[in-house]
Amino acid sequence: MAEGQSDTFWKSLYIYFNEMDFESQLFVKKIYKIIILTVAIISFIIAYFLERFSVCVYSTIGASVLCILVLAPAWPMWKKNQPNWQQANWQKQK
């Protein structure tokens, strides 16, 4: 009995972080490219004048980790525009 209950806990946690509504999906799809590209270009220019390429690589990887933590899981801020589902109408099936 206890195993079944912990299974549904992890499963429901996964489902919670998995579902994101459609408008924020479009937003996330645009914004991660913008963030990573601007960080990469600016840090490349800074690294060129400092003569250290490691600055560019570390900052790009750091920006991608930040994007993964904020944009990949479905936090409550990405669940604000839920679609309007229709009411289930059981009587029509008769």
Name which position in 13, 37, 42, 46 contacts another protein (CB under 8 A): 37
Residue 51 binding another protein, by CB under 8 A: yes
Which residues neighbour 55 within 8 Å (Cβ) at sequence distance 6 or greater?
Answer: 43, 46, 47
Residue linked to tokens 């919670």: 16
- Residue 25 in the binding site for another protein (CB under 8 A): yes
In the complex, the smallest distance separating the C-beta of residue 76 from another protein, rounded to whole angstroms, is: 15
CA nearest to 77, candidates 14, 15, 20 = 20
Q: Contact with another protein (CB under 8 A): which of 13, 72, 79, 82?
A: 72
Shortest gap between Cβ of 4 and another protein (angstroms)?
A: 24
Is residue 16 within 8 Å of residue 77, measured between CB atoms? no
Instruction: For residues 81 and 25, give the distance between their C-alpha atoms in angstroms, rounded to a whole number.
Output: 11
CB of 83 closer than 8 Å to CB of 21 = yes
Binding site for another protein (CB under 8 A): 14, 17-18, 20, 25-26, 28-29, 32-33, 36-37, 40, 44, 47-48, 51-53, 56-57, 60-61, 63-64, 67-68, 71-74
